[in-house]
Amino acid sequence: MADLARIAGVSAITVSRALRDSPLVNAETRARIRDIAQRHGYAFNVSARNLRLRRSMTVAVVVEMTPSPDRQMSGPYPLDLLGGIIQELTPLGYSVLLTALQATVPPAVLAADGVILLGQGAREGAMHTVRAWGRPLVVWGAVSRHASQIVVGSDNVRGGALAAERFRSLGRRHPVFLGDDAHAEFAERFEGFRDTFRRYGIEPEMVTVPAFTVTAGATAAEAILRERPRTDALFAASDLLAIGAIRGLLSCGRRVPEDVSVIGYDDSPLGATYVPPLTTVHQNFVEAGILLARKVMALIDGGPAGSEVLPTHLVVRDT
């Protein structure tokens, strides 16, 4: 190692880091040192290094959702989050183990160097479950409620406020939120939505849905029109719920957006191509995935890490 350092004109620690593909050494220097090592017959034993470090070189990504025909793992949540995670971890030599939250924890998950949990679950149950595994943990969810847990999330309160302001600009006075405040992210979205409308003397209602699917959204919208026929604005906690709500409204003879305005949340490709194209609150899932990966790696390496909130913005389309 000392000979390589002398030839390369760098310190021994820089050589060590370069041969480990550490991001602490820039890519050009890493490539130059590896080239020198190869030309001088230096063989780097990755398996031996991992054994010395007692690392599996894997990060487990646990998704808090039960896939179904009506709610698949093919949307931006969780696929775009996963894409950002892989984009960040692959150059570091890490593999990603993807699984849904299960009653029995797979041994490979417990052997991972760290865990990224996508979704806190109702009443944060999933987060408490995974935290008990004792692995370095970073969570995608609602940031503000967790002083002791590192969380990356979007500004859900701001997202709810943006939806309310949009409805106000359209003159809507009978708003309803579709979601479930047992989930911290959705509770924050309703908080921003409700508090903004209250400034105008309007009290929004929340209708709790049993699932975050198109079917649940359609069923909820039909029930809302029966029980609250004056409803003129629906803010859904996800794009899937919003698309279902539009179907329910149309099946009851209501026009969107002439009779009822609808706003979703996530800015999914499905919402953008739906007819009519869905107005929605955008979340940057790819950037969030990158941050989740960086923070779990910081924990694995024994470094500092903190929670972080990403901005949201409204994407105005036709609903």
Q: What is the pLDDT of residues 7-55, one digit of tens each?
A: 888 887 787 778 777 778 888 888 888 888 777 655 555 555 555 457 7
The pTM assigned to this predicted structure is 0.80
Question: Which structure tokens are listed for 281?
Answer: 């609150």
Question: What is d(CA 299, CA 56) in angstroms, rounded to the nearest whole number?
Answer: 15
DSSP, res 71: B
Residues 131 and 73 both lie in one domain:
yes
Are 16 and 134 in a shared domain?
A: no
Question: Are residues 144 and 162 both part of a single domain?
Answer: no
Mean pLDDT of the chain: 87
Instruction: For residues 202 and 220, give the distance between their C-alpha atoms in angstroms, rounded to a whole number.
Output: 21
Q: Which segments of the chain does DSSP mark as H helices, in order? A: 2-8, 12-19, 27-39, 46-53, 76-89, 107-110, 125-131, 156-169, 184-198, 214-227, 239-251, 269-273, 285-300
SS3 state of residue 306? coil
The C-alpha atoms of residue 35 and residue 305 are separated, in whole angstroms, by: 33
Q: Kindly state whether residues 183 and 106 are assigned to the same domain.
A: no
Question: Within this chain, do residues 169 and 236 fall inside the same structural domain, yes or no?
Answer: yes
**Residue 188 in this model has a pLDDT that exceeds 80:** yes
Cβ contacts of 275 within 8 Å, gap of 6 or more: none
- According to the model, what pLDDT value does residue 190 have? 98
Q: Are 310 and 283 in contact (CB under 8 A)?
A: yes
Asked if 9 and 29 count as a contact pair (C-beta separation under 8 A), the reply is no
Judged by phi (left if over 0) then psi (alpha if -120 to 50, else beta), residue 171 lies in left
Question: Are residues 169 and 277 both part of a single domain?
Answer: yes
Measured CA to CA, the distance from residue 303 to residue 101 in angstroms comes to 27
Examine residue 314 and state whether it is found in any structural domain, yes or no. Answer: no
Beta strand pairing status for 114-118 and 58-63?
parallel
Does residue 96 have a pLDDT over 90? yes
* Number of domains the chain contains: 3
Long-range contacts of 248-255 (CB under 8 A, 24+ apart): 248/217, 248/218, 248/219, 248/220, 248/221, 248/222, 249/221, 249/225, 251/218, 251/222, 252/221, 252/222, 252/225, 254/225
Domain, as residue range, for 104: 58-150+285-306
Query: Has residue 187 got a pLDDT over 70?
Result: yes
**More confident of the two residues 136 and 34:** 136
What local confidence, expressed as pLDDT, does residue 129 receive? 82
Residue 293 has pLDDT above 60, yes or no: yes
**Residue 75 within a domain:** yes
The pLDDT assigned to 250 comes to 97
C-alpha to C-alpha distance for 279 and 236, rounded to whole angstroms: 11
Query: Within this chain, do residues 201 and 298 fall inside the same structural domain, yes or no?
Result: no
Contacts of 33 by beta carbon, 8 Å cutoff, 6+ apart: 4, 8, 10, 14, 15, 18, 19, 25
Same structural domain, 214 and 70:
no
Domain CATH number, residue 236: 3.40.50.2300
> Considering the domain boundaries, does residue 51 fall inside one?
no
In this structure, the answer to whether residues 278 and 161 fall within a common structural domain is yes
Q: Are 62 and 116 in contact (CB under 8 A)?
A: yes
Identify which has the larger pLDDT, 15 or 199.
199
Which is more confident, 110 or 226?
A: 226
The residue ranking higher by pLDDT, 301 or 288, is 288
Does residue 311 lie within any of the structural domains?
no
In this predicted structure, which of 138-142, 145-149, 231-235, 258-262 has the lowest mean pLDDT?
A: 145-149
Query: Are residues 278 and 188 part of one domain?
Result: yes
Inside any domain, residue 63 = yes
- Both tokens of residue 41? 């017959």
The pLDDT value given to residue 237:
96
Does residue 312 lie within any of the structural domains?
A: no
Residues 189 and 215 in one domain: yes
Asked if the structure places residue 316 within a domain, the reply is: no
Per-residue model confidence (pLDDT) at position 49: 53
Tell me: do 69 and 122 sit in the same domain.
Answer: yes
Residue 167 lies in a domain: yes
**pLDDT band at residue 72 using 50, 70 and 90 as cut-offs:** low
Q: What is the mean pLDDT of residues 253-268?
A: 97
The answer to whether residue 206 scores a pLDDT higher than 90 is yes
Residue 312 has pLDDT above 90, yes or no: yes
d(CA 149, CA 127): 9
Beta-carbon contacts of 99 under 8 Å, excluding residues fewer than 6 positions away, are 60, 61, 62, 63, 106, 109
What integer pLDDT is reported at residue 125 of this predicted model? 73
